[in-house]
Each structure stands twice: as C-alpha cells, then as structure tokens.
Amino acid sequence: MRKPERINQMLRFINHKKHFTLQDLMHEFQISKRTALRDIAALEEIGAPIYAEYGRYGGYRLLNKMQLPPISFNSQEVYALYFAMKALRSFSSLPFQVSFRSIHEKFLNELSESQRQDIERIQNRVSFRHTEQIKDSEHLEILLMAAINNKVLKIAYQKLDQTGTRIIQPIAIYFMKGYWYCQAYDICKKAYRVFRCDRITSAEVTDIQPLGDLKEITMQNAHTLWNPSENAVQFKCLVDQRGVEYFQQEHYPSIKLIHEQENMYIIGSYEPNEIDFIIKYLSGFGKSIKIIEPVILKEKLRQYYTDLLNGI
C-alpha cells in the first residue's frame, strides 16, 4: 500500500478508535515500528490532533473527531467492487429490493474515464457464470431485518401444496443453487430449521419475546442448533477425493465430514420422512461414494438408480 493511501486509511482508523497504540497501527496496517512512528509524524503534520500518553497504559489519543476527506478507491478496489456487483445480476430478489441496474449506473458515473475504459475491457475478457435465481422471494428484507434486530416472525409457509403457520426467529439468510434460504429457530417445535424463502408467502413481526441465547448465533455456527429427533436415522458413507470436493460444495447441518484411518467419511442423520431427499442428495456423489450403513439406505439408492434406468 502506498503511503498516501495508508495515511488516508489511518486517519479513518484513529478517528474511529480515538485511543490507539503503536502496536495497533503495526497490526492493522502490517508495518514496522519505525514506519508507524513516521506515519504518526505525518498525521501530525497534516493537522491531526494527536497527543501522546505516557505510562504503563499509554499510547496515543485523538483530542476530537476530525472532518475526514471523501472516500476514494484505487483501481484494484474499483475492480473488486465491480466483480462483486456483477454477482447481483443473477438475483431477481434481493434484500431492500436493490436492482443491479441502478447500482451499476451510479457506480460507473463516479469513475474516471480511464477507469470506465478498464471496466469495459474487463467486460470483454471475463465471463461470470453462476447459478441463476430460480424463484422470487418476496420477504427477504423482513427476514434479514428480523435476524439483525433479534425479532420473532409469524410466517405462512407452503410445503407439499399445504400452507401452515410457523413462528420463527430468523438467524441468517443465504443463497445456494438458485434458491434463497432462511436459517431460523422454530419457536413452536423448539428446533433449528431451514426454510426456503420462496415458500414463505407472508411474514410479519410479532411481540413474542425472542430467545436471548440466539443473539450470538451466526450463519457460520447456526449448525450447532441442529438436533435430530428420536426417530432420526444415522448413516455413514465412505467417500473418495471427488466425494470430498462434492461435499464441500453442498452439505447440510445434519451432515459432516470426518477422517478415520486414512479414509474420509460423511456421517449424519435424516428423518424418516426425508428418505427421498437424502437419496437424491447421495446420488449426486455418483461413483465417489459407498454407503456403509444402514443397509436400507444402500437398497434405496440402488432402487433409485434402477428406476432411473427403467425410466420410472
């Protein structure tokens, strides 16, 4: 990072932090102690109101907040933002109903002529191939805001041509293989569940008290809430390297990858009424998987392939 750019970012860093040490600057900007001292001197030269505090808990303190210059982006940051925006094109539903076109036009209008020319060259040299959204999801914004603000929702959820009412506390939303999903805690069933957002036909905030222990749950650790029922069936499958790669691309909270005696296995559980789902999932592994247990799962997968060959 060039020094002027680093100084600009450092201004924003100390303006937010107010009290900081040399170690803070060294760690944040990956610079040496000597460079950090020179940068502090540079900040003082441009008028940053910094004073040193001595003693065991000393460091530097900002006397008052500064009026910061407008944010500017270097060419690499501009390209990174453009790549990120291109991903929006596959979504017909987005939280806050933001369209790619409006963002794209505003973004291009703020670029210099040379940056716009670079973006045009990128368009002709890079192909963005990703899964298109299959169905619209009308309630992404309320689901996301409920997760952020720790609110409980009453939703109408359609499944197998039946619509039922559910009381849920959303945790996070994510997009996978053409569909939006909502990770949530089902208040009535007292269990973690994943809901397909396009099947949510209505959603409204309730006055129900949220569960306090879900505040710190994030999309990354939401799987810790998953608890199989007493009727859940345990399974174990041997997978090769291709199977490992497939698992890393697509897996679910009730399934995990383990290493035993130089072999890789996927283990997990499924509910009895989910047998068709788990068979279809395992069939995606092709020849890279071997079912170890239970025997009934192996027989069901064999029947699935037989039906395919017979055109059933």
Report the pLDDT value the prediction gives residue 223, as an integer from 0 to 100.
56
Residue 159 has, within 13 A of its CA and on its CB side, a CA count of: 10
Predicted confidence at residue 43, as pLDDT, reads 84
| Cis peptide preceding 4, ω within 30 of 0 | no
Q: Quick check: helix, strand or coil at residue 288?
A: helix
pLDDT digits (tens, 9 = 90+) for 15-54: 877 788 888 889 988 899 999 899 888 888 877 888 888 7
pLDDT on residue 216: 64
pLDDT tens digits for 56-68?
777 888 777 766 5
Edge-first strand listing for the sheet containing 153-159? 191-196, 179-186, 162-176, 153-159, 200-205
Domain covering 233-309 in this structure, CATH number? 3.30.70
Fold match between 3-62 and 233-309? no
- Residue numbers of the chain with a pLDDT score lower than 50: none
Torsions phi, psi for 171 (to 5 deg): -110, -45
Topology of domain 140-225, CATH: SH3 type barrels. (2.30.30)
For residue 157, the model assigns a pLDDT of 93
State how far the Cα of 195 lies from the Cα of 277, in Å rounded to an integer.
15
Indicate the domain borders of the chain: 3-62, 75-123, 140-225, 233-309
Report the distance separating Cα 170 and Cα 148, nearest Å: 9
Architecture of domain 3-62: Orthogonal Bundle (1.10)
| pTM as predicted | 0.60
Crossing angle of helices 22-29 and 3-17, in 10° steps, is 130
